[in-house]
Amino acid sequence: MQANTKKEAYSWMKAIVFALVIVFICRAFIFTPVAVKGESMEPTLENKDKVVISKLSGSDRFDVIVFKEPVKDEQYIKRVIGLPGETVEMKDDVLYINGKPYEEPYLENNNITSDFTLKELTGQEKVPDGCFFVLGDNRMNSKDSRELGFISAESIIGEAKFRYYPLQEIVIPE
């Protein structure tokens, strides 16, 4: 009887260790949960929302990404606006990428983004290779590429795939 108990305990220990290894591998290389801090992505994401980010996704225009802030050891969540080689301009609350106007349906208000060009903000005409230009959805309260400059591809941790907390608001960010 005691031998069966030991075998059963050993079997459970193997299963638990295996599960922990799988969780560690998934969290380190595939996806991880992140808590939103601050109001810079409102109304899309709010302070203390929890999202799952995919570490395998590439970054494309209008994706919501998490990245390491260039100077401090903090993580920021913002929306990709400009891709490498593109021009970005904001004029009269209209976003222009490579001279083409884009609607931003994720923004709640109009008349919220000051006019700018990449040249004015960064001294460069286009987003450099290996970098992105990002903005928060709450433009009046967001520390983004207007202040931080370009975000390197190496600093991107992953793309926000879905919000899982609060439970009544589970949604895939648009």
Strand segments, DSSP code E, in 29-126 are 31-35, 50-54, 64-68, 75-82, 88-91, 94-97, 100-102, 116-117
d(CA 137, CA 115): 15
Cα–Cα distance list, 30 to 25, 157, 165 (Å): 7, 10, 20
Tokens of 53: 């980010």
Altogether, the residues listed in the chain come to a count of 174
* Measured distance CA(56)–CA(46) in Å, rounded: 24
Picking from 119, 123, 118, the residue whose alpha carbon sits closest to that of residue 134 is: 118
Catalytic residue set: 40, 78
